[in-house]
Structure 1
Amino acid sequence: MDALRMEVENLNAMINELSKRVSKEKDRGLQTLPEVDEWITWAEEVETKASNLLDGSISECHILSKCDDFSEISSSTHSYNESVRMTLKEVEALRSKGVFKVLVERSPLSLVKKILPPLQKIVSREILFEKVWKCLAGNQCGTLGLYGMAGVGKSNLLTRIKKKFEEVGDVSGHMILLVVVASDEVVESIQDEIYKRCYILLGGEAKDHKAKAIWNLLRRKRFVLLLDGIQKEVDLEEIGVPRPSRENGCKIVFTTRSREACGSKWVDAVEEVTCLGPEEAWEVFEEVVGETTLKSHPDIPQMARIVARKCGGLPLALTLAGKTMSCKRTVREWHHAINVLVSSTKKNSSSEVPILKFAYDNLPGEDIRSCFMYCTLFPKIWDISKQELVDCWIGEGMVKDEDREIAEMKGYEMIGDLVIMGFLTENESGDGVKMMHDMVLEMASWIASQASDSGRHAENIVVKCGKRIISCQRSMIGEW
């Protein structure tokens, strides 16, 4: 009986944790998988049956206490004991099947609608996209550079270009390669990613050997190469990429923060991606915060405009700040947000850091903040398996519970929260995540450096991902 009681308590905890995750996914407009809903229904029925058995345990124990030997035990008591035994097995089976890596159907349209809703509707962004696409669709432009400050929406624009090429792919016949440049070693970083995308076996070759292999493959293809995050001018010949021309019909589009990176002789056209104007920025912020919150008090809309202005027209900052403030429905909370942003802006030369730090500080609890910081150990281009990430969090003691299944569900709930808030993004299959944006990763590094400067957890900072460090001095590690 004690075993059944303990299993029922653990089952209840699993039902509650899973129900919270399901509720959050439905708030995002996503449809949960049928097996998830079926498990919750089944679990609730079994929990009710088990609770009824536990409620009758006192009377059954009283009956048993009056029996002097086994022969005096009634058939009804035997039946009750068998029901307890069978229900215990059923509860154990339920719990073993109650950890779900993926809760929802992967619906690209609904994901775009919920995660990136405002950016698809902004008039200036639509005009820019149409201008860029018209340029690429013509024969005069083979290589296009998109530049602008961090968080302004370059990667989002590049993603839209990729989807447009995919839509016309059957007609154009282009092979589409999207490469996220995640290292200062630009040439080798791009080469390695092209190797992976084209299923060329890596053999540790030198750059010139890789360039020859890539050239031999791409010179026979009609390709679209999309490079996200170029930091400096790139030599196509050094990478091994044939130069686009009117004859081969190939296209290259790259994003960069630096206007100087667009100065190469092989760049045919350049477009700047600028910050949003005040009214468009307000429209983004207003949509992300939501009508319910904005109407919760007459003074909140005016204060919301102040917070929106602090975002400087950056879509990333507007989205993160908007999601953070979407649950703040008192004047006091909005006053506090404004005071924090004003005071922290004075202390930082970068206007973006205070907004991102504010969103980080408003994550629900120190545990989830620690789990987010753990994610910064992975390179930004990596798809981190959700299960492996949860296993790491549990192994590091960041997610704790005596029951392993409940600990896993808590870990998955934290991943869901970080995705909803915009700190992580899911892959297409839904079983993995990666950092949402360079600026988020840079903000995390800044937080870590502040902790290091103040002497807190300084020994935890060893290397920065993607820097191809092959040796580490003792001074980098500190005292263990």
Structure 2
Amino acid sequence: MAEAVLTDVAKEILSKLIPLVTEQIGLFWGFNDELTRLRDSVELIQSVLADADRRQEREEAVRLWLRRLKDLAYDADDVLDELAYEILRRKVEIRNQMKRKVCFFFSFSNPIAFRIKMANKVKTISESLKRINEEADRFGLAREKLVNAILAIIPNRETDSFIDHSEVVGRGDHVLEIVDLLLSATNQQLSVIPIVGMAGLGKTTVAKLVYNHELVKRHFDKTIWVCVSDDFNDKRILREALESLTHQPSALENKNTILECLKKELQGKRYLLILDDVWNEVPMKWNTLRNCLLGINSSVGNSIILTTRSDNVAKITETIPQHNLKKLSKDECWSIIKKKVSLNERVQLTLELEAIGRDIAKKCGGVPLAAEVLGGTMSRKKEKSEWLAIQNNEIWNSLNVSNEMLPILKLSFDHLPSPSLKHCFAYCSIFPKDYRINKEELIQLWMAEGFLQPSLGSCLVMEDIGNICFDILLGNSLFQDEEKDDYDNIIICKMHDLVHDLALLVSKSETLILNEDLVDELPCSIGLLIHLRLLSISSTSIEALPKAITKLYNLQTLRIEGCYNLKELPEDLKNLINLRHIYFNGYEIGQTPKGLGQLTCLQTLQCFVVGQGTGFQIEELGCLNQLKGKLDIRRLEHVKDKEASKNAKLVEKAKVYKLGFYWSGNREGNHNNDEEVLEGLQPHRYLKSLRIDGFGGEKFPSWMLTSHDARDGFLLYDNLINIKLIDCKKCEVLPTLGLLPCLRDLEISGMDNVRSIGTEFYGNYNDGGYDKILFPCLRSLELGGCKI
């Protein structure tokens, strides 16, 4: 099973090579014959991969052949990448009109020397591929017609950060029993209830249901959740308990300080602490943590629920007998599968399919995780033959008692619809267990690895394919515990421990896990990493980025958030013409690098700091048509007039859903042009969040103010969820907000000249024409620093 991903790696790289080679053939490098031979060899090898995959498990020679093929495919990929890099380098030089008077013959820039070098590399790879093909013939590998896998888009699950009780099957009695135990344990200072069960049985799910139970919320003053896993470090557990209580990250390292903070939070309070996924079987470690908790709070009625697979853990911790989680019935497993399948309307659940499905449910052995994962797989299978392939898979005959879940999960992995998707899943083994995986960053990592290449003629970009892959893995329950932002976008997910074990298993030969290290400087030699697609140096003490970084023409993602010592970015950042995502803290950078508008592939630019002079002004945003997500524009006092701000073309950037407009608070001089600048910054009508900070005008722009008939102005922005108006000190009138149908959070502060809130704020003009509910979705209203 450890070699399971080997064939998929080879398939994925080879499928990527063909369009890359075809593209290079059309560029007249001078060695087109060699490139054509390379493409033909790749196509021949592709046709035998299906047979090689079947035979590698039992034939060592075929397995070794696949390994050599994989290594050679990587070499070919690097050569084609080098050719592509040279094209990008020439584009940048032509664009920047760099005229060299002297060109050393043997330099990398010399076209003749470069062609000779690359022709030799391509010839070497072609000859190696020819030998690989000859070996395939000697092994008698059958050649089959290639079938391209298509990633189907499946419906997203509608869930939130809290557990959905309607999706939990067969656990109601367990929850009520544990709730009763908690409510009756009022005479002990600290009672401990272990929930014990095998992997995938739903221990964490039951703990969540108890944690969120209405009776529990009323009984306990404070509830705390800590995921322990295999690192049973009392100081870490106590610090994370403090973070759970305060909802703030803590950098405290002194144990006594942490205990004092916990004591302050819990003094005189009755609390419930969930310790999820406990593995520690050393009594002394448990007693150390327990004594700390007893010293924090001397009240009676405090409780701990811990989840564990180990009876030994339960024995050393319990004050109340352990609660053993039972397996589900076959009907309950079928209920889980049926719910997953019903999410895909294209699967017609006939009586034949139901009979097959019920038999598969029985094979799940009462384990909800198995039913969840297989249900996700079956939701993408429309044909009876596909369901039968799962039902009759030989894996069911080889299950062993010691670890019967992994082969079942492996069955779901085998049925993922494409090699690239399998590669994306296996890549997730680089994360530690219980890690909160950032969806956006994960997709960018997949991109950097080359897993998300669009097929020829496809209108999808890499980010689109990444989102589809993520949704499929989530729909298959290979990802779980998703968290959403205020705008209903999934931003975080996790992997179940067993699923993580599967990812490690299938990626054994492909994964390198490095430990964190402190970084305070990047060497100039980083410019030699011409294949680099993603560079993340966030939260380091780096003070400057070397100029050589601007030669990384293949770079797609640059992450430099939290680099508090970094005050400026390299001047020639505009040379990174492939850059799609850049993350940095705008309030620390003096101004955005010159000519950023030339990065026309840019999709993520969370902050633009307006400067003075050509290449630094707000007009640079006008060419960035692909921008999406969040965009803050700072130092707007440097914008000349309405025409300049209009040239940012925000009204055309329909994928930007969160906008922030900032004027510096300590600026000198008059604010005469603030009104016309903001007038020109009119956004598109699908905006979800708007912040205006430090605006010095007396009135808001026409696109925010609503006329007497209340049919224009801000009312066109009916998707707005969040609005913040901060330190707009000279404004006298508030915009009409009361009729915005989706407005949920509103903050108004520091508006010194607003003396009263009139009917224009609500949108009610007492003319009999308005019977709508005012602020129909408002949940949060903050008013401060206003002289009302």
State the TM bucket, normalised to the shorter chain: 0.5 to 0.7
Show CA shifts across 1:297-325 (max 9, x none): 54333322321122110001011111211
Aligned residue for 1:424? 479
The separation in 2 between residues aligned to 1:427 and 1:355, in whole angstroms, is: 27
Matching residue's letter, 1:129: V
CA contact (8 A) 1:106 1:428 kept: no
> Within the alignment, does 1:316 sit opposite 2:375 as a pair?
no
Aligned residue for 1:146? 195
- Larger Rg over CA atoms: 2
CA contact (8 A) 2:220 2:272 kept: no
Call closer, same or farther: CA 1:208–1:432 in 2, change over 3 Å. same
SS, match of residue 269 in structure 1: coil
Shift of 1:145: 1.0
CA contact (8 A) 1:363 1:369 kept: yes
Aligned residue for 1:136? 182
Gaps of 5+ in 1: 1-102, 471-480
Matching residue's letter, 2:412: A
CA contact (8 A) 1:348 1:354 kept: no
Aligned residue for 2:210? 161
Call closer, same or farther: CA 1:320–1:117 in 2, change over 3 Å. farther
Q: Give matches, 1:365-384, under 5 Å.
A: 365-384=418-437
Call closer, same or farther: CA 1:308–1:179 in 2, change over 3 Å. same
Aligned residue for 1:119? 168
> Within the alignment, does 1:299 sit opposite 2:352 as a pair?
yes
> Within the alignment, does 1:406 sit opposite 2:455 as a pair?
no
Matching residue's letter, 2:315: G
1:174 pairs with 199, 216, 221, which one? Answer: 221
> 426-435 vs 397-406, which deviates more?
397-406
Show CA shifts across 1:370-404 (max 9, x none): 22222232234333222222222222222235999
The separation in 2 between residues aligned to 1:132 and 1:343, in whole angstroms, is: 34
- If each structure's helix is expressed as a fraction of its own residues, which one has the higher value? 1
* Greater length-normalized contact order (CA 8 Å, ≥ 6 residues apart): 1
TM-score by length of structure 1 reads: 0.63
Aligned residue for 2:29? none
> Within the alignment, does 1:445 sit opposite 2:504 as a pair?
yes
The separation in 2 between residues aligned to 1:176 and 1:352, in whole angstroms, is: 32
Call closer, same or farther: CA 1:312–1:265 in 2, change over 3 Å. closer
Call closer, same or farther: CA 1:328–1:393 in 2, change over 3 Å. closer
Show CA shifts across 1:220-273 (max 9, x none): 543211111011245254362228999433221110001111113652232111
> 125-134 vs 258-267, which deviates more?
258-267
The separation in 2 between residues aligned to 1:265 and 1:354, in whole angstroms, is: 32
Aligned residue for 1:415? 470
The separation in 1 between residues aligned to 2:317 and 2:227, in whole angstroms, is: 22
SS, match of residue 202 in structure 1: coil
Q: Give matches, 1:282-293, under 5 Å.
A: 282-290=334-342
> 430-439 vs 351-360, which deviates more?
430-439
SS, match of residue 213 in structure 2: helix
> Within the alignment, does 1:272 sit opposite 2:324 as a pair?
yes
Shift of 1:366: 1.5
Call closer, same or farther: CA 1:184–1:237 in 2, change over 3 Å. closer
Shift of 1:428: 4.0
CA contact (8 A) 2:192 2:319 kept: yes
> 309-318 vs 216-225, which deviates more?
216-225
Shift of 1:443: 1.4
Q: Give matches, 1:36-435, under 5 Å.
A: 108=160, 117-120=166-169, 122=170, 125-138=171-184, 139=186, 142-164=191-213, 169=217, 171-172=218-219, 174-197=221-244, 198=246, 199=248, 201-205=250-254, 210=258, 214=262, 217-233=265-281, 235-238=286-289, 240-242=292-294, 247-264=299-316, 267-290=319-342, 296-342=349-395, 345-346=398-399, 349-401=402-454, 406-425=461-480, 426-429=482-485, 430-435=489-494
CA contact (8 A) 1:385 1:431 kept: no
TM-score by length of structure 2 reads: 0.40
SS, match of residue 284 in structure 1: helix
The separation in 2 between residues aligned to 1:183 and 1:262, in whole angstroms, is: 15
Call closer, same or farther: CA 1:144–1:325 in 2, change over 3 Å. same
Shift of 1:419: 1.6
CA contact (8 A) 2:163 2:209 kept: no
Show CA shifts across 1:100-123 (max 9, x none): xxx9998649x855xx74524x2x
Aligned residue for 2:732? none
Show CA shifts across 1:310-341 (max 9, x none): 21100010111112112323332222212325
CA contact (8 A) 1:356 1:440 kept: yes
SS, match of residue 161 in structure 1: helix
The separation in 2 between residues aligned to 1:345 and 1:242, in whole angstroms, is: 49
Gaps of 5+ in 2: 1-154, 519-788
The separation in 2 between residues aligned to 1:284 and 1:431, in whole angstroms, is: 23
Q: CA-atom RMSD, angstroms?
A: 3.7
The separation in 1 between residues aligned to 2:312 and 2:361, in whole angstroms, is: 30
The separation in 2 between residues aligned to 1:312 and 1:352, in whole angstroms, is: 9
Show CA shifts across 1:8-51 (max 9, x none): xxxxxxxxxxxxxxxxxxxxxxxxxxxxxxxxxxxxxxxxxxxx
Matching residue's letter, 1:178: W
Call closer, same or farther: CA 1:324–1:140 in 2, change over 3 Å. farther
CA contact (8 A) 2:377 2:412 kept: yes
Call closer, same or farther: CA 1:282–1:386 in 2, change over 3 Å. closer
The separation in 2 between residues aligned to 1:137 and 1:284, in whole angstroms, is: 31
The separation in 1 between residues aligned to 2:356 and 2:398, in whole angstroms, is: 17
CA contact (8 A) 1:289 1:322 kept: yes
What percentage of residue pairs aligned between the two structures are identical? Answer: 23
Call closer, same or farther: CA 1:391–1:147 in 2, change over 3 Å. same
The separation in 2 between residues aligned to 1:404 and 1:328, in whole angstroms, is: 25
